[in-house]
Amino acid sequence: MKDLPPPSALHLPRCPQDCALVDYAYLGMTSSCIAHYLAELWNLISACQSCVPSLSVPLLTTSDNVTTVLGHCFGPLPSEDDEGFYSSSQLRIKQLRRLLDLLSSLPDIESDLAPALKLHNNLSSCQTIAVVFRNLRLLHQCIFEMQAASETTLFHSLEAYPDRTAQILRSMMKLSRRVKLPNISFRNFETIGVGRWVDDEIINYFVAKWCSRSSAVLGLSTFFASNILFQQNSCLTAKRVLGLEDEIKVQRWCRSTEKAQDLKDWESVFIPINENNSHWYSACINFRSQRIEIYDSLRHVCLVNRRKPVQSRKNTDIMLVLMWLTEVLSRLRGETVELSNNPFTAWRCDPHTEVPFQPNSYDCGIHTLWHLRHVLYFGSVRARCELHYLKFSDNMIGQRLILAQELFDDCNL
């Protein structure tokens, strides 16, 4: 970074705290113990210049409105109905995410510098450094708001122009044929395409990725239900007898998943279920809210069964297995939950939770992944949601494109 020369090697008379004074560029006299940490801050500013070239230390030390540099770097986008809107929006969002990722280290740098700044607060350079931190925090907040606004506008356009969204998705499918996707095969990737039934590798990829980034949701693979909860791989008939051997299998499976997703103190467990290779639905056990819920986006399954007596409902048998699983998981968490023959429990079980419904036969997998997004964000599925990036839509074509784009981004394409 050409405008950030290293501190002068000249050592001036020692300050009262017995630290050497050094002449640091743009700051003047500062303590050597402060200068030791400044290189990290300067490197952060230098890295941010790759996205915001006009950002500089002089600007950060003097400007009263540092956020104006964002307006200079990120001008107006094409209108939503323009063919170039999607690509322009994606580029902007990637740049903003990059900036947010860089600035995420700011609190640690500030924490490291805080003791030295407090010790030498009589130096004018300390006040200047405080101004730099204040402006960087302000910049971070403005970037965060700009990213949120850009994503909201993009998601709105995907829903408002479904034909164009479908065409972009088809173009991505064609492109994926010509490149190698390191994280997933083309055969799996193309199931995100228009009107396709999403396969288990896609479900498992996003469950593992998203839950690894969370701190509260343990996401089990699609094979857990077929191996542990049901009598057959088709997941049509729930097990009726579960014993110690099953409990040991659950413990091993969950311990392995904890390690893979780097989770320790999770509060919820998300379980995707593949019913006879023709339908996806899911279950969630939430220890914080003390609820067990089953999410199924087929309208007739939900509405018809909600009117039936509990013992006659489709998911009653699997709910009994989930109650057993909750007791097993509670022991894994170091607590005790008793649901069997316990009419006084505070836990609530809903085998047919009301969720947004799919209008076709193929969007169930996309709904299941959006169920997980709601669990990660809200703790459960909300039938009515105003956040664009969490909303369900009639055709879910925008959600498919979001998933495909995320996979492309993960492969650096």
Which tens digit of pLDDT belongs to each residue from 236-260?
999 999 999 999 999 999 999 999 9
User: What pLDDT, on a 0 to 100 scale, did the predictor assign at position 18?
Assistant: 65
Question: Mean pLDDT throughout 164-181?
Answer: 90
User: Is the separation of the CB atoms in 138 and 66 below 8 Å?
Assistant: yes
User: What pLDDT, on a 0 to 100 scale, did the predictor assign at position 172?
Assistant: 93
Question: Mean pLDDT throughout 183-193?
Answer: 92
CA 287 to each of CA 44, 247, 264, 333, 363: distance values in angstroms, whole numbers, following the listed order: 40, 18, 14, 10, 29
Lowest mean pLDDT among 147-156, 179-188, 257-266: 179-188
Per-residue pLDDT for 261 more than 80? yes
CA separation for the pair 328, 335 (Å, rounded): 10
Lowest mean pLDDT among 307-311, 357-361, 380-384, 389-393: 307-311
Residues in the chain: 413
CA separation for the pair 340, 320 (Å, rounded): 9
Q: Which of 365, 213, 336 is nearest to 278 (CA)?
A: 365
User: What pLDDT, on a 0 to 100 scale, did the predictor assign at position 15?
Assistant: 52
User: What pLDDT, on a 0 to 100 scale, did the predictor assign at position 36?
Assistant: 74
Lowest mean pLDDT among 12-21, 226-235, 281-290: 12-21
> Confidence band (pLDDT; 50, 70, 90) for 14?
very low
Question: Mean pLDDT throughout 392-405?
Answer: 95
User: What pLDDT, on a 0 to 100 scale, did the predictor assign at position 13?
Assistant: 43
> Confidence band (pLDDT; 50, 70, 90) for 30?
confident
pLDDT in tens, 91-142: 999 999 999 999 999 999 999 888 888 888 778 888 889 899 999 999 999 9
Per-residue pLDDT for 385 more than 90? no
Q: What percent of the chain has pLDDT over 70?
A: 95
Q: Which of 139, 114, 1, 126 is nearest to 60 (CA)?
A: 139
Question: Mean pLDDT throughout 58-76?
Answer: 85
Q: Is 79 exposed, middle or buried (0-12, 13-18, 19+ CB in 10 A)?
A: exposed
Please give the domain boundaries of the chain with CATH numbers for all domains: 11-159 (no CATH), 162-410 (3.40.395.10)
Per-residue pLDDT for 323 more than 90? yes
> Confidence band (pLDDT; 50, 70, 90) for 45?
very high
pLDDT in tens, 77-101: 999 989 899 999 999 999 999 999 9
Who's near 5: CB < 8 A, 6+ residues apart?
A: 25
Average pLDDT over the chain reads 90
User: What pLDDT, on a 0 to 100 scale, did the predictor assign at position 17?
Assistant: 55
> Confidence band (pLDDT; 50, 70, 90) for 12?
very low
Say whether 353 sits in a helix, a strand or coil: strand
User: What pLDDT, on a 0 to 100 scale, did the predictor assign at position 181?
Assistant: 78
**Phi and psi for 360 in degrees, rounded to 5?**
-140, -170
> Confidence band (pLDDT; 50, 70, 90) for 24?
confident
pLDDT in tens, 326-352: 999 999 999 999 998 888 899 999 999
Choose between 186 and 36: higher pLDDT. Answer: 186
CA separation for the pair 283, 319 (Å, rounded): 9
Question: Mean pLDDT throughout 258-277?
Answer: 96
Per-residue buried b or exposed e for 25-49, using 16+ beta carbons within 10 Å of the residue's own CB: ebbeebbbbbbebbeebbeebbbbe
- Residue listed under structure tokens 């369900």: 392
CA separation for the pair 314, 318 (Å, rounded): 9
Rounded to a whole number of angstroms, the CA Rg of the chain reads 27
Count the helix, strand and coil residues of the chain and give each as a percent rounded to the nearest 5: 55, 10, 35
CA separation for the pair 373, 23 (Å, rounded): 51
Q: Which of 273, 280, 224 is nearest to 396 (CA)?
A: 280
User: What pLDDT, on a 0 to 100 scale, did the predictor assign at position 388?
Assistant: 85
Question: Mean pLDDT throughout 158-185?
Answer: 90
Neighbouring CB atoms inside 10 A of 120's CB total 20
